Structure 1
């Protein structure tokens, strides 16, 4: 089977993420390839203001990343910036997906959306969340 014959995933990542790319490579089925574009986002998350700035800048750069990946003719986008997908509350993940889809011309799945769908599908009633963003924890309790 040829590389990318079954599909191409456009992985949109914050530049500081060193985990998602190797994880994706380890689980890709035969014939599916992953292509990555990174979004710049400042890494200072020392307080709420800087956390929001990191998310704002990263999300704003997502559309450019999608445009770059469009040249690889990806079939779907995965917006893998968890903090950036929930920090503005309910519905923000859908807005991010719309922006990426418009910029890149292919469907987009967002981490917050995928997590919510998994929780619902599995019938979970209580969940725990671990995050490196201590300043964001109050946002998760909503």
Structure 2
């Protein structure tokens, strides 16, 4: 029997070196939906992805990319880079989502905005934070969360500069260790930021070890998408967050 493809077409804008957003979203994809990806350029693959490079990606002209993704007539378009917008702040993130909606005619969700929405859905106000970013972007991420009424009570940096491919090459075991280092007795949730980090695969293990919900960039986008489109739950959704659907 042929599976239906009638619930929703989901467009995704993804940095061209990202190797993990697509498999993560496919893992979590609700039955009856389809995923359609458009890759974003506008940055140098050989540079360390620092704040300037990521801010440049967020500010890049995506008019062509929106025209391409609009061709599938998506119900929603996801902007799949967290650091590209959090480096600019909440107002920029919200404005980009509005521009994507205007350019695609679809519901628009950003990774950074979804991360905050997921934390709020868990009713958490204090979090432990970790990512594979360079320290400067982590500073901006903590500020981004603070401006959305989320206090970072502990933070774990990766401890070395990772290139554009290095972030995606971290193993789930390394992500688990990073998350555990970000824990704190007063943290109500653990936040793992980056759409190219293999966090989704580690969510269950982290939650079992720490006894706290985990929020990741890719998981948060799927949560917000499913909530907005009223898509049905299924058995491949990682973490306590999806109990809030």
Aligned length: 138
Partner-residue secondary structure (3-state), 1:91:
helix
Residue in structure 1 matched with residue 95 of structure 2 by the alignment: 95
Conservation of the 8 A alpha-carbon contact between 2:40 and 2:65: yes
Residue in structure 2 matched with residue 2 of structure 1 by the alignment: 4
Quote how far apart the aligned CAs of 1:78 are.
Answer: 0.6
Q: Which sections of structure 1, spanning at least 5 residues, go unmatched?
A: none
Residue in structure 2 matched with residue 85 of structure 1 by the alignment: 85
Deviations 1:78-121 (A, max 9, x none): 11110012111121211110121122121200111111111111
Conservation of the 8 A alpha-carbon contact between 1:64 and 1:103: no
List structure 1 runs of 4+ shifted beyond 6 angstroms: none
Residues 1:28 and 2:29 are matched in the alignment:
yes
Two-structure CA RMSD over aligned residues (Å): 1.7
TM-score by length of 2: 0.52
* Distance in 2 (alpha carbons) for counterparts of 1:20 and 1:62: 19
Residue in structure 1 matched with residue 75 of structure 2 by the alignment: 75
TM-score by length of 1: 0.87
Conservation of the 8 A alpha-carbon contact between 1:45 and 1:54: no
Conservation of the 8 A alpha-carbon contact between 1:66 and 1:100: yes
